[in-house]
Amino acid sequence: MPQFLCSARFQAAFAVLAMAASPLGAAEAFGRWQQRPRRCVVEQGVAPRLRCYELQLDQRSPQVLRLSVQADGPERGEVIQLTLVGSLAEGSAPMGCRDGACTLKQPLALSLISLSLVRFDGRGLAQSLPSTWTVRGGCRIDRSELRCEAQNAELAEAGAPGWTIEAELR
């Protein structure tokens, strides 16, 4: 039998085995879930509430997620982006993802690890490097609402205000 035919049969057999090991309907461990909330606010202590308008949840692995929140900044034309990173709390299951898109099949509970903040001007240009803090807190996310509370781990004892994000989805 010519070498070419053996090689083609081997490739076909390998493809069948690969498909059997990873069926088309299988969930992936990574992807993104995005929402434009009906109502969304970001608060930090006594500072004015900021209106947020976009939420994005990136699942990098089955246990680590990153929530990015776009909001109007305190200055006219300014936009801020808050990014919270956390791990799934015990008893929470990862999102179901396929082809890079995820869905919330059940509520998620996150134990937060860090928070970063970046400010952008009206043209979308970053005004500084991101400020990042280690935080304590958590998020609860389901199909109808999101609530996150994050407290700067180092400044909590000094009474520094924490961040709260509340959103009504759908």
Task: pLDDT band for 27, please (50, 70, 90 cuts).
Answer: low
Q: What is the mean pLDDT of the chain?
A: 84
Neighbours of 134 (CB within 10 A): 11
Task: pLDDT band for 24, please (50, 70, 90 cuts).
Answer: very low
Residue 22 has pLDDT above 60, yes or no: no
Beta strand 131-141 with 108-120 is: antiparallel
Residue 70 has pLDDT above 90, yes or no: yes
Which alpha helices (H) appear in the chain, and where do they start and end?
3-21
Average pLDDT over residues 5-31: 46
**Reduced DSSP (H G I as helix, E B as strand, rest coil) percent helix, strand, coil of the chain, to 5:** 15, 50, 35
Residue 6 has pLDDT above 90, yes or no: no
- Pair 130, 117: CB distance under 8 Å: yes
The predicted structure's pLDDT at residue 20: 35
- Pair 114, 135: CB distance under 8 Å: yes
The predicted structure's pLDDT at residue 167: 97
pLDDT digits (tens, 9 = 90+) for 119-170: 999 888 999 899 999 999 999 999 999 999 999 988 767 777 899 999 999 7
Residue 17 has pLDDT above 80, yes or no: no
